[in-house]
Structure 1
Amino acid sequence: MEILIERDAEAVARSAAGVVIDQLGANPRTVLGLATGSSPLGLYQELAAAVRDGRTSLAGCRGFLLDEYVGLPAGHPERYRTVIQRELVDQVDLDPDRVQGPDGLADDLDEAAARYEAAIREAGGVDLQVLGVGANGHIAFNEPGSSLASRTRPAVLTQRTREANARFFEDEIDAVPRRCLTQGIGTILEARHLLMVVAGEHKAEAVAQFVEGPVSARCPASALQLHPRVTVCLDEAAASRLELGDYYREVRAAGPTAD
């Protein structure tokens, strides 16, 4: 893993945006994996500014969402397809018809999951996958206990995740769906480059577990240790429980490595 420890959340967003902009420069037809939630919002704002300034373009890209709630109607403000439209697509030059999410309104969710896997394969796979991590170590909606080889599938959200997401639903936990469609951990690991964005002390324990702890279904994000190309952008608060923080700083100061 490449661990980039930044001063604060704003610096994390700039650092992560730099990774995306470099990717777009290398391949203007990049297939992006798009996360929602609060973690990537600063990154998306930085990308929007870069597009406005003419420093990058997403016009040739495709996008695939990590996950989607089951049962939220089209146009619901917290449906993830709506969120990514509002927070990223409307702010940049990415064609909305080239952005796809799992169908949380499908009658047959298993079939919808299989279709989504097929769509990602047909696009040639994800080149750069943006990720956040939950305080319990989940990535996408792969909760603790998820198979590290899991594929896109229907899943049930834990009470802890629903409580964390209630802030997006006017703090009404009963309004947060109990079910979702999510890319599996195995699906995520097939992306060519994983970009994890984390800020805040409340994520520090999850960061310590997925970066330095054992690879275990108890911390789904720990599966990232198995991937050959992972960039983790985090602020000092999120990095505060890393035992090897000084080493990561030394590695970064020394320049690019194979770590």
Structure 2
Amino acid sequence: MEILVSPDPEQTAARAAEAVLAGLDRSSRRPSVLGLATGSSPLGLYRELGRAVAAGRADFSTTHGVALDEYVGLPPGHPEGYRQVLLREVCDVVGLAPDRLEVPDGSSTDGAALEAAAAAYEQRIRDLGGVDVQVLGIGANGHLGFNEPGSALTSRTRVKRLSARTRRDNARFFRGLDDVPTHCLTQGLGTILGARRLVLVATGDAKADAVAAALEGPLTASVPASVLQWHADTVVCLDEAAAAGLRNRQYYDDSAEGLPTG
């Protein structure tokens, strides 16, 4: 696991974008597959990827985008449904084709239909050959995707109940708490671990406790993001505020300097 701490969110986003591009460049498969997270944490990263496209350093026109999750029960086209969010925040920014954006189908509220949608999504990821680079954020309670505390570490895409804290955190995107869905379809922790590279972005002091627990605490279902410790190629990009709780900070900074030259 590589932990990169930058002075501010802007530099954090720039380093995260470089980690994404490096992971995609290593892929021998074309078109590549980029896993996409929503929320405020990855927005700067997506803007940096858009700048890379504008500068001729990247091209996402043939890339497949794979969403981490989707709310259950929102009608198609709802502005806070994650398909619409990713169309605005990723496709329009980096030039990813809308017909290459994969999002779980959470439009039903029927249990059997949702189970079928989850299985179909797992199959679609397999059909694409797996995810090359998965972008991630982290919840204040340590959730990854919508895998809330208590999620099985080997779980696959499935229906999950959102915690009260997650719904409160997401209420700012809706008219109020009562409008936030109670359930979602989310890639499981096992599904996420199947990506070839994981790139997590976290900024701000509200994420500091979750970051410290995930990176330096025990591997536990109580902190779903602790599965990052289990992955062979994880890059964690933090600003100073999000890194404030790390005990081994000096070692991470020393390691980031790389091998000596000359």
TM-score range with shorter-chain normalisation? over 0.9
Q: What are structure 1's unaligned runs of at least 5 residues?
A: none
Q: Which amino acid aligns with 2:179?
A: A
Deviates more, 1:26-35 or 1:131-140: 26-35
Distance apart, 1:76 and its partner CA: 1.1
Aligned to 1:231: 235
Mapped partners of 2:173, 2:90: distance in 1: 17
Note closer, same or farther for the CA distance 1:26–1:229 as it changes in structure 2 (3 Å cut).
closer
Note closer, same or farther for the CA distance 1:4–1:255 as it changes in structure 2 (3 Å cut).
farther
Q: Which amino acid aligns with 1:67?
A: D
TM-score, normalization: structure 1? 0.96
Equivalent residue in structure 2 for 1:62, among 61, 64, 81: 64
Q: What are structure 2's unaligned runs of at least 5 residues?
A: none
Mapped partners of 1:23, 1:214: distance in 2: 27
Listed one character per residue, the Cα deviations across residues 71-109 of structure 1 (whole Å, up to 9, x for unaligned) are 111111110000000001012221111111000113410
Q: Does the CA contact (< 8 Å) of 1:24 and 1:30 recur in 2?
A: yes
Q: Does the CA contact (< 8 Å) of 1:23 and 1:30 recur in 2?
A: no
Distance apart, 1:113 and its partner CA: 0.1
Question: Could you tell me the percent identity over the aligned residues?
Answer: 56
Mapped partners of 1:24, 1:95: distance in 2: 17
Q: Does the CA contact (< 8 Å) of 1:41 and 1:87 recur in 2?
A: yes
Q: Which amino acid aligns with 1:19?
A: A
Residues 1:115 and 2:120 are matched in the alignment? yes
Equivalent residue in structure 1 for 2:177, among 154, 173, 180: 173
Listed one character per residue, the Cα deviations across residues 94-153 of structure 1 (whole Å, up to 9, x for unaligned) are 111111100011341001000000000010000100000000000000000011011100
Q: Does the CA contact (< 8 Å) of 1:63 and 1:99 recur in 2?
A: yes
Please tell me the root mean square deviation across aligned C-alpha atoms, in Å: 1.2
Q: Which amino acid aligns with 2:128?
A: A
Mapped partners of 1:115, 1:199: distance in 2: 33
When the two structures are aligned, how many residues end up with a matched partner? Answer: 255
Note closer, same or farther for the CA distance 1:24–1:147 as it changes in structure 2 (3 Å cut).
closer
TM-score, normalization: structure 2? 0.95
Distance apart, 1:24 and its partner CA: 3.6
Mapped partners of 2:201, 2:145: distance in 1: 13
Mapped partners of 2:135, 2:128: distance in 1: 17
